[in-house]
């Protein structure tokens, strides 16, 4: 074991597509730096966006955004959203867009799961803004549900790894949470 510097070792992360209304139109960008903050009621989630991006202004203006979960099948479109900026290219027609309770948080029919969020707070770092959103509603396609819950085996999330700069897929489940450790209990 040796120190390797302050390397963020939290990968893999799910690759998401964040939807924002900018200048009256939907815009989408790939976002892997997402966080689960208050895992309670309500739920608060965060997205870390570089200040250079086109999307940030739309969140400031409308105080809403979506976090959409693409499956592996949407890798090409997701990556495109992460390499092309709305400053130069209109990404509004890339997907079949729909809206839920929040009329300025565009969501994506091609993504099996979509979450709409109301802006709660912004953390202002030098290069990035962390947008904290209150989760208002989640929309899921029946095809990824089992017993009323999102089934990640069916969703097949697109995983992001910074070290390899590759997309990865999930492997099989290896054990039950809050259960596997019981064998060590005295």
Spatial CA neighbour of 53 closest among 132, 129, 137: 129
| Interface contacts to ligand FMN, rule CB under 6 A | 15, 27, 29-33, 48-50, 53-55, 79, 82-87, 160
Taking the complex as a whole, the smallest distance from the CB of residue 118 to ligand FMN amounts, in Å, to 19
- Nearer to ligand FMN by Cβ, of 14 and 151: the residue is 14
State which residue has the least CB distance to ligand FMN: 82
- Nearer to ligand FMN by Cβ, of 92 and 145: the residue is 92
3-state DSSP assignment of residue 140: strand
- Nearer to ligand FMN by Cβ, of 6 and 148: the residue is 6
Taking the complex as a whole, the smallest distance from the CB of residue 141 to ligand FMN amounts, in Å, to 22
Distances (CA, A) of 21 to 28, 57, 88, 144: 9, 9, 16, 27
Which phi and psi angles does 13 have, rounded to 5°?
Answer: -120, 155
- Please state, in angstroms and rounded to a whole number, the distance separating the CA atoms of residues 130 and 102: 20
């Amino acid at each position: 074991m040796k120190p390797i510097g302050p390397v963020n070792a939290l990968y893999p992360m799910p690759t998401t597509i964040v939807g924002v209304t900018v200048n009256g139109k939907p815009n989408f960008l790939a976002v892997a730096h997402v966080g689960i903050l208050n895992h309670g009621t309500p739920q608060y989630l965060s997205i870390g966006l570089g200040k250079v991006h086109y999307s940030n202004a739309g969140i400031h203006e409308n105080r809403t955004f979506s976090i959409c979960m693409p499956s592996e099948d949407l890798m090409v479109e997701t990556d495109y959203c992460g390499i092309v900026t709305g400053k130069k290219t209109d990404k509004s027609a890339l997907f079949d867009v729909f809206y839920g309770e929040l009329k300025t948080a565009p969501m994506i029919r091609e993504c099996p799961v979509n979450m709409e969020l109301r802006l709660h707070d912004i953390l202002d770092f030098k290069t990035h803004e962390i947008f904290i959103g209150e989760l208002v509603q989640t929309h899921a396609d029946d095809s990824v549900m089992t017993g009323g819950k999102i089934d990640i085996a069916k969703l097949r999330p697109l995983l992001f790894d910074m070290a390899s700069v590759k997309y990865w897929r999930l492997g099989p489940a290896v054990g039950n949470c809050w259960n596997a450790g019981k064998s060590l209990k005295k």
